[in-house]
Amino acid sequence: MTMNGSTAAAPPGVPARPTWAPPGGKGTGPLLAAVLGGMFLAMLDQTIVGTALPRITAELGGENGLYTWVVTAYLLTSTVTVPLYGRLSDVYGRKPLLLVGVTVFLAGSALSGAAQDMTQLIAFRGVQGLGAGALLPLSLALVADLFPPEKSGKVQGALGGIMAASYVAGPLLGGLFTDHTSWRWAFFVNLPIGAVLLAVIVRRLPRVPGTGGSRPDYLGIAVFTAAISSLLIGLTEHGLDGHTWTSPAVVLPLIASAVLLVAFVLVERRATQPIIPLELFRDRTYTVVNVASFCSAACLYAGVVFLSRYFQQAQGQSATSSGLHIYPLMLAMLAGSVLTGVLITRTLRYKPWVLGAPLFGVAGALLCAGLTAQTPFWALTAWMALIGLGVGPMLSGLTVAVQTSVPPQHIGTASANLTFFRQIGGSVALAVAGTVYTTVVHDRAAGHASLVDAHAAAAATVIPWLAAVGAVVAMLALVFLPDRTLPRVRRDVPAAVLAE
């Protein structure tokens, strides 16, 4: 139905779907809070265990290889399931998939907090990730459902800010829980928040049916899962137990992943209802935005991961203190994301704002080439702010661009794929940059430099290289982004009617 109660015409083969109720109507506030909360939980749990892992390992008796897999198990299952949830929500509706995702996430959180050994914890983190794969893409898709294009810019700005905050809040909260209560609260904290989210979803989110269609592409799901699992396993094994890029434990999974990805494309081309519709990549906006999302992850992870490591290992900060010291980066990302959302809303254009943003990231990254153990915090604050201003607009602007480039029945899939490419880009960037970081530390220490100076030199090498290259490639891709004006009223959008 349209805003006056009529039914909008749908494309051939797609059922008519109701469009927006008036933005700001009854139910909008609690639903938006639920969207923000779900996204925050999913992103938070990617990083919150990092500062708690040394204590977890000491208490549960884990080995070095198992140490890494506490993080990898969550990353693996949450990354693999992101496109699946997105596509299935387009077919069956957002509400049932979101309820499944939150429930599984909370079950995994409770089990992880109660784990008695490392094997249990790794398995339960995998369960947690199976649910987390629904939270981020469906949150992004719900914004497209609930708000028209002229309003979605501001909301996407808020979502981008939440995403930025979660990356920085995770290590800080993990350190606080570990130092002052127990590492188990890094998992238990999800339960009360998640219970509120479930209540809001059940009570406030209407059940809007999806497009329906034939049975899911089970073969595509299986091949895709095997391909991405092999990729992440190969990247994770790199650096463990001395494994290099040519070690069988690394190269064999990567080769298997490449072969399986080719097989996945062949399967999807013949599938009646593909899990990742390949025809979406024929749209230049859709393709460019996903390339930029993949590359922009290098800027994001360079700042969040390696600056935190610099504060701890080059300046001797505690885990909690390093989380506080990186707040200028988080606040700049938040400001950049919100400001971009406002500008998109006012101008109904997104290209100028996302195209110019990487310049800030390049400037901040290159300035970090001057990092030493004695770099004053006031200077580093300015450098972090520039990196944040480069990343923030990409978090909100790219989402608006990709959601307005696809047919309504593919909004969930498009939102999920944007998240998927960002997470894969981050995994690849961290694997490569981790090698560079370790090499620089080893070479400087072998040259009789202090360990503190070696870590500072490694940060001064990795951050400029990783963030600047990612930002430049993203900017080059965005040059080819069509400069479209957003419609004020979008037809045939699969939206929820908020009046209950």
How confident is the model over 185-238, as pLDDT tens digits? 989 989 998 898 888 888 877 777 666 556 678 888 889 889 988 988 888 777
Same fold across 30-207 and 277-486: yes
Question: Would you state the pLDDT for residue 211?
Answer: 64
Question: Would you state the pLDDT for residue 239?
Answer: 65
pLDDT digits (tens, 9 = 90+) for 305-319: 788 788 888 888 876
Residue 497 in this model has a pLDDT that exceeds 60: no
- Percentage of residues in the chain with pLDDT exceeding 90? 24
Question: What 3 state SS string does the chain have?
Answer: CCCCCCCCCCCCCCCCCCCCCCCCCCCHHHHHHHHHHHHHHHHHHHHCCCCCHHHHHHHHCCCHHHHHHHHHHHHHHHHHHHHHHHHHHHHHCHHHHHHHHHHHHHHHHHHHHCCCCHHHHHHHHHHHHHHHHHHHHHHHHHHHHHCCHHHHHHHHHHHHHHHHHHHHHHHHHHHHHHHHCCCCHHHHCHHHHHHHHHHHHHHHCCCCCCCCCCCCCHHHHHHHHHHHHHHHHHHHHCCHHHCCCCCHHHHHHHHHHHHHHHHHHHHHHHCCCCCCCHHHHHCHHHHHHHHHHHHHHHHHHHHHHHHHHHHHHCCCCCHHHHHHHCHHHHHHHHHHHHHHHHHHHHHCECHHHHHHHHHHHHHHHHHHHHCCCCCCHHHHHHHHHHHHHHHHHHHHHHHHHHHCCCCHHHHHHHHHHHHHHHHHHHHHHHHHHHHHHHHHHHHHHHCCCCHHHHHHHHHHHHHHHHHHHHHHHHHHHHCCCCCCECCCCCCCCCCCCCCC
Q: Select, from the ranges 161-165, 203-207, 238-242, the one with the highest average predicted confidence (pLDDT).
A: 203-207
Question: Would you state the pLDDT for residue 492?
Answer: 45
Averaged pLDDT for residues 8-35: 50
**Domain residue ranges in the chain:** 30-207, 217-272, 277-486
Tell me the average pLDDT of the chain: 80
- Percentage of residues in the chain with pLDDT exceeding 70? 84
Residue 117 in this model has a pLDDT that exceeds 70: yes
Question: Would you state the pLDDT for residue 11?
Answer: 39
Stronger pLDDT, 192 or 423, i.e. the higher one:
192
Residue 103 in this model has a pLDDT that exceeds 50: yes
Question: Would you state the pLDDT for residue 123?
Answer: 92
Cβ partners under 8 Å of residue 167, min gap 6: 43, 46, 47, 300, 304, 330
Question: Would you state the pLDDT for residue 64?
Answer: 52
Question: Would you state the pLDDT for residue 422?
Answer: 86
Question: Would you state the pLDDT for residue 151?
Answer: 64
Pick the CATH number of 30-207 from 3.10.20.340, 1.20.1250.20, 2.40.420.20, 3.90.1150.10: 1.20.1250.20
Residue 495 in this model has a pLDDT that exceeds 50: no
Stronger pLDDT, 378 or 426, i.e. the higher one:
378
Question: Would you state the pLDDT for residue 491?
Answer: 41
Question: Would you state the pLDDT for residue 434?
Answer: 79
Residue 27 in this model has a pLDDT that exceeds 80: no
Residue 240 in this model has a pLDDT that exceeds 90: no
Amino acid at 263: A
Averaged pLDDT for residues 325-340: 86
Lowest-pLDDT range of 249-258, 304-313, 387-396: 304-313
| CATH class of the 277-486 domain in this structure | mainly alpha
pLDDT grade, residue 13 (50/70/90)? very low
| Alpha-carbon span 484 to 236, nearest angstrom | 39
Structure tokens given for 61? 């008796």
pLDDT digits (tens, 9 = 90+) for 29-85: 777 777 777 778 877 887 787 667 767 877 887 655 566 678 778 888 888 888 888
- φ, ψ of residue 349 to 5 degrees: the values are -135, 145
Averaged pLDDT for residues 126-133: 91
Stronger pLDDT, 45 or 367, i.e. the higher one:
367
| Alpha-carbon span 259 to 263, nearest angstrom | 6
Lowest-pLDDT range of 3-17, 101-115, 338-352: 3-17
Residue 391 · residue 303 · CB < 8 Å: yes
What's this model's pTM, rounded to 2 decimal places? 0.76
CA pseudo-torsion sign 407, 412, 415, 419: negative
Residue 259 in this model has a pLDDT that exceeds 90: yes
